[in-house]
Structure 1
Amino acid sequence: MKTVDFKHARGPDKLRVYAIGDVHGRLDLLQEMHRRIQAENEKSPPFDWVVVHLGDYIDRGLQSKGVLDLLVNLQKKTHRMLALAGNHDIGLLEFLDTGDAYGLFARNGGRQTALSYGININFNDPGSVYAGRKALADAIPPSHIQFLRGLRRSMVFGDFFFCHAGIRPGVDLDRQDPDDLIWIRWEFLENTHPHPKIIVHGHTPVSDVEVRANRVNLDTGAYASGRLSAIAIDAENKFFLEASV
């Protein structure tokens, strides 16, 4: 099996690829990152470019609705703004389907997401959860649901494989379990063996962008740290961007 290491990995010819880590409701940081990407493109114009958002757009931060509004509107305007699913994004859909008061959405920042749509849910009160689920379903624009349901689990550009959480080591990239791509953690993070592609991911917060020979972690805990991180891949060149407040 052919493998690659980060130092020698290349992006596609004539296409600069940006990837942005977990946003978690930080609309301010996402907007600033988009401005930084625009400035980078103006400073050094690429032949063409795309931006891959690595998922977890919602929960914990206060502006989940604003983040989804931005991404939905950008995708209407340009084919360059790509988006992958994160476990938190899927968690919202699952809550709307099941009303689970003990699931990911309920216990990991779902209250902030609901508040961004004007819905106050007390997840310790079954009555509030029951009513809040219906109210939230009514408050979320259909375009947001369509966006979330349409999110892909992975993308490939050149020598790089993009997903939210990581891959199952030893499994072909085209045979990965969709749940692993948004949920896997230590089996992937602790594996040091080379993969067929460099895995660019988020999901597990780190204090600084983590670059390993076989992967790059871009989740710098934006909702709490105030730092949103991205990578730019331009043929053999790789560099990093940060938006902070």
Structure 2
Amino acid sequence: MEYQFLLIDVADKVATVTINRPDKGNALSPAVLEEIVSLFTHLAERQDVSVVVFTGGERYFSAGFDLNEIRKLEKVSNEAYTALFHRAYRAVLFCPQPVIAAVGGPAIAGGFDLTMMCDIRYASTRARFGQREVALSLPPILDPLWRIVGLGRAREVALTGRIYDVTEAERMGYVSRVYPEGELLASVAAIAAEMASYDRTCLVESKKLSNQLLNFDLDGSMRTQEWLFRSYIGSSENHQRIDALQARLASERRK
């Protein structure tokens, strides 16, 4: 499939999706959003993809909304554009495979929201994060942000419109790990490759479970997790991976 504003590379069960609109800081025009919906919908159906890396490259992730496009809108005719944003968000959030955000630079407003829809966020020292919607008289997205950083911190992010450097983003738990400038993509590629070597179905089911748990009480969560564990333990895939691990450990002991 051909895209104007997205680059796609699939290798060793990892799909790397790169927003490619450098002249506009990877701003999210309607065309970019349409391509995100199309590509993530396509990736969801691919059995040869176990992990997705979503990035804007080493310099930035996305400057956010294309303000020139938003300025054209009227309140009485904004439904299609609003729906398009949320279709793009949902395409990433509910992609069945784990999605890793590799944030090489600013992720602001809509760009920040896209990183929020990913399952794991890694960033370079260049990265900056911020929900600037409130400064533009736009209500920011609080869910799933509050599930990631807690309700109190999510309120601060959403209501102040403040820009956070990567150190503070890591400290609040929004970013899992920070890499030196220029080393982000290679480091995330290694993590994604290791993840993609695992059982794809187990990865998909584990992500699905993580989205379900907040809707259960503690007893329901424990029962669901027990049922899912029981579905995998003792399977042929489980046996093969145990055998491979034991063989590798035995080989290392003999060295």
TM-score of the superposed pair, with normalisation by structure 2 = 0.30
**Higher-helix-fraction structure:** 2
TM-score of the superposed pair, with normalisation by structure 1 = 0.31
